[in-house]
Amino acid sequence: MALRTIRTDDEPCLYKICKPVEKFDARLSELIDDMFETMNTADGAGLAAPQVGILRRIVVIDAGEGKVELVNPHILLQEGSVGCFEACLSFPGQRGYVERADHVVVEGYDREGKLHTYDTKGFFARAVQHELDHLDGVVYLTRKIDPPEGFSEKEEQTE
Ligand code: NI
C-alpha cells in the first residue's frame, strides 16, 4: 500500500466527469487499498478516485459504519433533506453548509465485481452523496448555502 497525493483546489482532475471502471483487476484492488490508506492518514471519512488524480468511478467511505468501497456506484433512492456543514480533503481549511437528502440507497461494486446495496442515513448518506458528486466533477463548495440562523456549527464533517 502507498499513500497517494490528494489533489486540491483548482486542479483540473477535480472538475471532470469520471469514466466507469471496466477491469476488476489487481491494479484496481491496489488503488482501493491506497485510497483507504490515504483517506485514513488524512483523517477523512471519504475519498473519491479523482481526488488522487484517477478519473474513474471509485469511492471509499468510512463514516463510522465500517469500510465501504463503491465502484461504478449508482443512487437508487434519495429522500428527505437535511443541512449540515461539510469539508473536503481537497479543500483544506474550508467548510460550507450544504443541504442533502438524509436517506440514500446506493449500489456499487466491490473490487471483486460483486454488487452491494447500502441503505444509508445521516452522516453515511451525506458522505455517499458528497463522494459521488466528485465522480461527476462536482465539489461541495458549488452546493454551499448560508446556514439557517443559529445552526450549531459543532456538526462539522470531513469528507
Ligand atoms: Ni470531497
The tens-digit pLDDT sequence of the chain (159 residues) is 899 999 999 999 999 999 999 999 999 999 999 999 999 999 999 999 999 999 999 999 999 989 999 999 999 999 999 999 999 999 999 999 999 999 999 999 999 999 999 999 999 999 999 999 999 999 999 999 999 998 876 555 555
- The answer to the question of residue 6 being in a domain is no
- The answer to the question of residue 118 being in a domain is yes
Q: If you measure from the C-alpha of residue 131 to the centroid of ligand 1, how many angstroms do you get, rounded to a whole number?
A: 6
Task: Quote the pLDDT of residue 156.
Answer: 54
- The answer to the question of residue 5 being in a domain is no
Neighbours of ion ligand 1 (CB under 5 A): 88, 159
Task: Quote the pLDDT of residue 83.
Answer: 97
- The answer to the question of residue 4 being in a domain is no
Query: What domain range includes position 36?
Result: 12-157
Annotated catalytic residue, options 131, 153, 156, 159: 131
d(CA 121, CA 69): 17
Beta strand extents in the chain (DSSP E only): 46-48, 58-61, 68-79, 82-87, 96-100, 103-109, 115-121, 157-158
Q: CB burial class (10 A; 0-12, 13-18, 19+) of residue 10? A: exposed
- The answer to the question of residue 2 being in a domain is no
- The answer to the question of residue 58 being in a domain is yes
Nearest residue to 87 (alpha-carbon basis) of 95, 97, 77: 95
Q: If you measure from the C-alpha of residue 4 to the centroid of ligand 1, how many angstroms do you get, rounded to a whole number?
A: 15
Task: Quote the pLDDT of residue 154.
Answer: 58
CATH number, domain of 51, equals 3.90.45.10
Q: If you measure from the C-alpha of residue 50 to the centroid of ligand 1, how many angstroms do you get, rounded to a whole number?
A: 10
pTM above 0.75, yes or no: yes
Query: Which residues, 6 or more positions from 24, have their beta carbon under 8 angstroms from its beta carbon?
Result: 71, 109, 111, 112, 113
- The answer to the question of residue 29 being in a domain is yes
**What is the number of structural domains in the chain?**
1
Q: If you measure from the C-alpha of residue 80 to the centroid of ligand 1, how many angstroms do you get, rounded to a whole number?
A: 21
Q: Is 131 a catalytic residue?
A: yes
Task: Quote the pLDDT of residue 85.
Answer: 96
Q: CB burial class (10 A; 0-12, 13-18, 19+) of residue 55? A: middle
Q: If you measure from the C-alpha of residue 119 to the centroid of ligand 1, how many angstroms do you get, rounded to a whole number?
A: 21
- The answer to the question of residue 3 being in a domain is no
Query: Which residues, 6 or more positions from 62, have their beta carbon under 8 angstroms from its beta carbon?
Result: 36, 39, 40, 45, 46, 68
